[in-house]
A = this chain, B = another copy of it.
Amino acid sequence: MTSTDRPPARAWPPTPDFDVWPVEHLPAAAETDGRIVTVTWDDGRVSRYHAIWLRDNAADPATHSPATREQVGHPWDLPADLAVTSASLAGDGSIEVAFAPEGRTLAYHPGWLRALDYSNGRHDDLGDIAPTYWDCRRLAAPPTFDGPACVERDGALLEALEALMEYGIVRLRDMPADETAVQQFAERIGTIRNSNFGFLFDVKTAPADSRKAADSNAYFAGALAPHTDLATREYEPGLQLLHCLKNTTRGGRAVYADGFAIAAHIRRTDADLWRAVTQIEWTFTNRSPATDYRWRAPLVVLGRDGEPVEIRATTFLRGPLNVDYDDVEAAYAGLRAFQTLAAGDRFAMTFDYAPGDLIAFDNRRVLHGRTAFDEAAGERALKGCYMEREEVLSRIRVLRRARRANRAA
């Protein structure tokens, strides 16, 4: 079948979402045994769907609100003896399924039904982007994009955000060096995460008379060892934006390192250190008269599949280690190894911030730091905010959806 043979998409039944489902294949046959609907497609593929799955995902207004596309019917309210009495093909290529004891016939969009076939293995409904780990041999500088293009054009933004999810860091060049640009760009992605440091924060030397009230080492001119921010929180921010407004000091070079790559290196080279960084928990404690956030986690948090999902390396927020007596020296050995790698030539990417540079990075993967700077030599000002990985992923999905809609139109 060529594309000109296709019936127009709008003639097909609705789907329970706002997405676009190109029809690549049409069903050739549909049958049922009452519990399962079996669809044979024009390329020979056979897909099987359970009655309860089809009924739950029906796009009729009694099941999904046409306004919100959210469920208004619930599967636990369906009759316990739910069954399919017939499955057949409509002339336009949709699949019609009749349910008992309700006596209702519901129609399914063939592009949607084919894409969501779960009987031939799981499909990638999250749109996952696999990480590429890097050291400085692989990546000498952050993947760099034109800032204004990303603000103005969806295609450019999508490309930058996909690189951000793959490498954990991107640099946007030539953003306006003003106070509002970081928020504008952040809101082009999604929702900014509020914190006790405010909605937006300024990283610049604190005025001398306010030094005693500073609530973070970041507000001094000293070097900052590579770290993640807010390891004291149950939910370490998944994304950080840092936008350079001014930089006329000497020093203050940016330092970034891929914590997942460091973890992989340790795993390859030293089983004792690997155990230490993945199994022994530090207690991270926020020091402030006003707040007292705490969280307990190893330096490298592993997901259910055993791969790193999160680095917890806010080293200057480590509280007193509170672990088994025999693990204390191993914990420090792991910390020393991890931080030495993060600051070393192989893993620490360094560069100078130029005014207008906006660095976006995965704060749960990529450590950031800086060399010390001479505050008498000039001014240095960064403006930043926190977000979450899921804001980036949501924007990527919406941009990909729009691209599919454009192609289908």
Contacts and interface: CB of A to CB of B under 8 A. Distances in A.
Nearest to A113: B320
Contacts of A16: 287, 320
A325 B118 contact: yes
A215 interface: yes
Contacts of A215: 68
Contacts of A393: 293-294
B389 A116 contact: no
Contacts of A190: 196, 291
A286 interface: yes
A56 B122 contact: no
Interface in A365-409: 388-390, 393-394, 397-398, 401
B329 A52 contact: yes
Nearest to A396: B292
A264 interface: no
A219 B56 CA distance: 22
Assign chain A's interface to a size class: 35 or more
A69 interface: yes
Contacts of A193: 193-194
A56 B213 contact: no
A93 to B, nearest CB: 19
Given A118-B325, A323-B122, A318 B225 contact: no
A306 interface: no
A67 interface: yes
A192 B194 contact: yes
A315 interface: yes
Interface in A336-360: 336, 339-340
A336 B74 CA distance: 9
Given A76-B336, A235-B235, A53 B287 contact: no
A184 to B, nearest CB: 16
Contacts of A332: 52-53, 56, 75
B125 A283 contact: yes
Contacts of A71: 315-318
B238 A125 contact: no
A222 B73 CA distance: 11
B388 A290 contact: no
B216 A52 contact: no
A253 interface: no
Contact of A70 (B127, B317, B325, B390): B317
A50 interface: yes
Contacts of A295: 390
Contacts of A315: 71, 74
B394 A75 contact: no
A325 B195 contact: no
B336 A75 contact: yes
Contacts of A238: 234
Contacts of A213: 67
Given A72-B316, A122-B323, 6 more contacts: A48-B325, A68-B215, A126-B294, A192-B194, A293-B393, A294-B394
26 contacts: A50-B328, A53-B332, A56-B321, A65-B220, A67-B214, A68-B217, A70-B287, A70-B316, A71-B317, A72-B222, A74-B315, A75-B336, A116-B320, A118-B320, A118-B321, A118-B322, A122-B322, A194-B194, A233-B390, A234-B389, A235-B235, A292-B394, A292-B398, A292-B401, A294-B393, A294-B394
Closest 9 CB pairs of A and B: A69-B287, A292-B397, A76-B336, A71-B316, A70-B316, A235-B235, A50-B328, A293-B394, A116-B320
